Amino acid sequence: MSSNKSGQITVVGANMIDLIAYVPRFLNVGETLHGTEFQMGYGGKGANQAVMAAKLGSKVVMVTKIGEDVFGSGTRENLEKYGIDTTFVLSTSKAFSGVAPIAVVPEGQNEIVIVSGANNLLTTSEIDAVRDQIAKSAYLVCQLEIDLALTLHALRVARSVGTPTILNPAPAVESLPPEIYELTDIFCPNETETAILTGLKIDSVASAEIAAHELLSRGVKTVLITLGENGCLIVNSEGAIHIPADKVKVVDTTGAGDAFVGALAHFLALGLTLKNAATRAVKVASISVQGKGTQSSFPERSAIPAEILAT
């Protein structure tokens, strides 16, 4: 799959401030636990994916809403630092910027709470104002971290102007409107999200493929399931392709899925095949889990092996 448009990527999604606590284990109900380290970083699935694509060299337009607070101004500056177009990073006084408290255990797994705040005050008319940017983009990238109606509207706009879409259905919900599947060209959940959406247990590549076919039956063109240390699985009408991941020492998996999606969009926008783009995105995500934090763990171009970047 490739796009005949420019290499630009438009991302409609959330921005968050990640409040990351490193803890010896996950908490029990009512428990207070001493953490070992704290970090604050810029996150939100939309912003993360935009940053990863921009770090790789894509021209990225971010569409989101921030609060008129220190977190919001910091978010705008952070996006601009990576060269992201913030024309459509809008602000409001009616809510605080979004935050995401995160607990990370020594094995690298995490638990995340998201409070969307200003993100959900984005409006459909504000998305309509980005129509021309979406029209000239190689891909539109969306997630489910802002109000579902807004994501659905963005996908409709992309379809109306002929721009291919990538939907990362996270955080997952058990039921999605049928239209959202039909408007998605590449549906990119992880194992947990796939299980929630299909009701099927995902414990192997084979079971992931069964679940992928269920998603295809709902109208998606291509399903791309990320499988953590097992890489990813591409399933469409042409068949199934499993792309394994390199074995690495995992430090923190926070944001790895976003690193994958942002990298996938970048390589697809360059015109690479889906298999080639996904193979490279797996390698980029594998680099990200070897560092702490979210955007801070996303590799710069200079830290990525040349063969991954070559076109």
From the centroid of its chain, how far is CA 182?
A: 19
Identity of the amino acid at 287: I
- In the numeric block, which tokens belong to residue 162? 């002929």
Report the 3 state secondary structure along 63-117.
Answer: EEEEECCHHHHHHHHHHHHCCCECCCEEEECCCCCCEEEEEECCCCCEEECCECH
Name the CA radius of gyration of the chain, rounded: 18
| Burial status of residue 230 (CB atoms within 10 A of its CB: 0-12, 13-18, 19 or more) | middle
Annotated active-site residue in 18, 185, 252, 258: 258
* Residue 176 to residues 53, 196, 256, 262, Cα–Cα distance (Å): 27, 11, 24, 23
For residues 191 and 137, what is the distance between their CA atoms, to the nearest angstrom? 29
* Residue spans of alpha helices (H) in 199-273: 205-216, 256-269
- Give the list of residues 6+ apart from residue 27 with CB closer than 8 angstroms, or none: 33, 103
Q: Is 140 left (phi over 0), alpha (psi -120 to 50) or beta?
A: beta
Is there a catalytic annotation at residue 258? yes
Q: Which residues are catalytic?
A: 258
